Amino acid sequence: MRSVILTLSVLAFYPLSAQATFIDLRGVVFSDPISHRVLQDGISLSFSVPTFGISPTRFGIDSAGDNDVPDLFDGGNGVAESTGFSFGPLNAVLDSIVISNFDGDDAGIVNFKGVGEFPLQNGVNVFSLPFSGATSLHFIAWRGPNSPGETRGFSLDGFNFHLVPEPSSLLLATCALAFCLPRLRRRPRRTTD
């Protein structure tokens, strides 16, 4: 009976499935405004640009000039807007990036350091990219025309992540199960005749 209780307690504390986390950037308040860091469910997401345009429905870069749409990634001021980002911890996986306000006039990319450049589209952009180190910056950038346009620009709405169990946790759970499971087999009962 003790081995059953021990097995159940190990399994209760061990995450058998990865927890998904959506970090919504629309209306975000940075937990660290200096480094532009968001902390949520054990995941840290940091950005490299000093001025963001944040509204309840969109997230973009606010560059200087009258032709910029402040809460979108665009090229309205004649310069393509971009930002670097990094995430962690070691067991974090970036599942997807959510983009909105993306239409026929828009073009954007995400560049994962050491992996390559991928075009963005409206909606969920799936990547499944594991953590690549705290010093590795990835980039999201506008690649459309660098000129004003009312419909030009896209919003970076958020990131979907999940955490995977660390190998040491997996080893601990496996050892506990290997120790406890043989004790769960039925033992023959003694009969008194």
38: which residues sit within 8 A by CB, 6+ positions away? 23, 25, 28, 30, 31, 44, 45, 46
Residue 27 scores a pLDDT above 90: yes
Residue 121 scores a pLDDT above 80: yes
Which among 68, 67, 143 is positioned nearest to 51, based on CA atoms? 68
Q: Indicate left, alpha or beta for 36 from its phi (over 0: left) and psi (-120 to 50: alpha).
A: left
Average pLDDT of span 12-27: 75
Alpha-carbon distance of 152 to 131, in angstroms, equals 32
Residue 189 scores a pLDDT above 70: no
pLDDT at position 63 is 87
Average pLDDT of span 126-149: 82
Q: How confident is residue 4, by pLDDT bands cut at 50, 70 and 90?
A: low
Alpha-carbon distance of 62 to 183, in angstroms, equals 63
Amino acid at 178: A
Indicate the Cα dihedral angle 132, 46, 128, 11, nearest 10°. 90
Which among 41, 47, 48 is positioned nearest to 22, based on CA atoms? 41
Here the tokens at position 7 are 């097995």
Residue 17 scores a pLDDT above 60: no
Q: Residue 5 is inside which H or E element, if any?
A: helix 2-13
Domains and CATH numbers, the chain: 19-164 (2.60.120)
Look-up of token digits 């999940």: 162
In degrees rounded to 5, what are phi and psi of residue 157?
Answer: -75, -35
Residue 124 scores a pLDDT above 90: yes
pLDDT at position 74 is 93
pLDDT digits (tens, 9 = 90+) for 41-99: 989 899 988 789 999 999 999 988 888 889 999 998 888 999 999 888 878 889 999 99
Residue 1 scores a pLDDT above 90: no
Here the tokens at position 42 are 């054990």
pLDDT at position 32 is 80
